[in-house]
Amino acid sequence: MPTEIPLCRNFKEDRQCSRSDMRLVEETDEAWVFVCKCCELVSVVAKDGISDRSKFELQRKRMHEQAELIRRWERRKKIFSVRA
């Protein structure tokens, strides 16, 4: 459980929410899901370390895709022409 229940963003930014009444509705392995009973805003709070791990996985995936693009570029057929 997070150390504190988050405030409703609509309440914080003086929008359509008259009071912040956030309730925990679901907990997964990666996050907690809160819903404001006043304006029905859904808020998801990541558990510690999950966002860091997802950033690492995304970076690793991008590096792998970049390496694959370089390999494809190097394997392509090379056509040389001679000008007279």
pLDDT of residue 18: 85
Distance, in Å, from the CA atom of 21 to the CA atom of 11, rounded to the nearest integer, reads 9
pTM for the model: 0.54
Q: Can you spell out the DSSP letters for the chain?
A: --SSPPPPHHHHTTSS-SS--EEEEEE-SSEEEEEETTT--EEEEEPTTHHHHHHHHHHHHHHHHHHHHHHHHHHS--------
Instruction: Sketch the domain layout of the chain as residue ranges.
Output: 9-74
pLDDT given for residue 35 in this prediction: 92
Chain CA centroid to CA 31, Å: 11
> Tens of pLDDT along 10-37?
888 888 888 888 899 988 888 889 999 8
- pLDDT beyond 80 at 1: no
Q: Determine how many CB atoms are found less than 10 A away from the CB of residue 39.
A: 17
- How high is the mean pLDDT of the chain? 82
Phi first, then psi: give them for residue 37, nearest 5 degrees: -70, -20
